[in-house]
Structure formats: structure tokens, C-alpha cells
Amino acid sequence: MNKRQRKKMFTRAFSKAYDESLKWQRKKEQVSITTVKDRRGKVYIITSITSQVEIMNYWIDDPEDSLKEITIEGYMLNNERMGLK
């Protein structure tokens, strides 16, 4: 699969996830769309209702190099596997 085909597939999947998220945003819910890769390298796009978001900073010697960790808790609406490597 070439770069153009992968881009089209991702765009279609994201568009579906976005449409699903709009249904829930009308109900005043917070929605997140995330792409993740599992241990085997398979890529998924996940749409979820977000109930809590926590952002933590880990300071290193240089403030510009600080690491940020985000934890999102919620309920999954849609989980679509994409044929990306």
C-alpha cells in the first residue's frame, strides 16, 4: 500500500470517527479521537467519550526538556483497525 492509499484510508476512518463524535458533542459530552499502535504494530483509531483528563509534568534539569504525561479516562464508542504497518 503506497503513501497516497494510506492517507486516503486514514482520512476516511478519521472522518467516520469525527461524525460519530459530533453526535455526542451535541449532548455536551467531551469526545476524543486517538490513533494507537498495538504491540504487533497494528494501528487503530479510537473514538471515546472522555470523563476525565489528567496532565502531569515531569521536570528534568532543563524546563524546555520537561516531559508531559496525559491520562484519559472514558468510554470507547468506536474502535476501527486500519491496515497500516
Model pLDDT for residues 27-65, shown as the tens digit of each residue: 777 888 888 888 888 888 888 888 888 888 776 666 666
Of 36, 44, 53, 29, the residue nearest 79 (C-alpha): 44
The Cβ-side half-sphere exposure at 33, using a 13 Å CA radius, reads: 16
For 46, residues 6+ apart whose C-beta sits below 8 A from its C-beta are 17, 33, 34, 35, 36, 76, 78, 79, 80
According to the model, what pLDDT value does residue 60 have?
67
Give the pTM. Answer: 0.60
Please give the grid coordinates belonging to residue 46.
479510537
